[in-house]
Structure 1
């Protein structure tokens, strides 16, 4: 004889199990991955710095502040990169972005004035 719950014996419905069977599907809110920076010191030790920022531009400010503090404390230059990328930056130099589009670069290549 299978075991029945007290609610089943009394002929009442169990609210919790009924809800679990018929529960509505919930949309899962996914959080974006945190931006992490890999900091490499002169002796070869590596540290990962998770940023609180949501965008890469804001994360650069946090990383540069952290790198500046580490350089002042250790007295050595620090190399850093975003985790998973192969482009490294030295010290507190702000990474530059290429602002020219491909059309402007092609135009400068073919028709640019030489000094």
Structure 2
């Protein structure tokens, strides 16, 4: 099991709060925030508010936070952004292709034999 800095110094501390302090150092000037629900292995649910309003940069910020939590606890973490119905495991996150990318692939696949 991973040892946190507070455990090394002999202070009682919360791993999530320690990681949250590290992420607060990231600069952002956005007005509205996107939040993520984090589900730890022991069943505890925690919430993390990203500093970004757009989903792409908020997802990157959440992935940084998830990586910090996993390094601190040594366990895998499940998470989801606010408004999503499915959970993501660890930092394995794939962005779904946009409508334009899907349409382009379908048209090219119809006219040309494309192998992946």
| TM-score bracket relative to the smaller structure | 0.5 to 0.7
Structure 1 residues 87 and 110, CA gap change in structure 2 (3 angstroms): farther
Which residue of structure 2 lines up, in the alignment, with residue 77 of structure 1? 76
Structure 1 residues 34 and 112, CA gap change in structure 2 (3 angstroms): same
CA contact (8 A) 1:89 1:95 kept: no
Higher relative helix content: 2
Structure 1 unaligned spans of 5+: 1-30
Counterpart Cα distance in 2 of 1:109 and 1:76 = 45
The count of aligned residue pairs is: 85
TM-score (norm. length: structure 1)? 0.59
CA contact (8 A) 1:51 1:63 kept: yes
Which residue of structure 1 lines up, in the alignment, with residue 44 of structure 2? 45
Structure 2 unaligned spans of 5+: 1-29
Counterpart Cα distance in 2 of 1:92 and 1:98 = 18
The alignment's C-alpha RMSD in Å is 2.6
- Structure 1 residue 92 and structure 2 residue 86: aligned? no
Counterpart Cα distance in 2 of 1:51 and 1:41 = 18
Equivalent position SS for 1:101: helix
Give 1:58 deviation, angstroms: 1.0
Pick the structure with greater CA Rg: 1
Counterpart Cα distance in 2 of 1:70 and 1:106 = 42
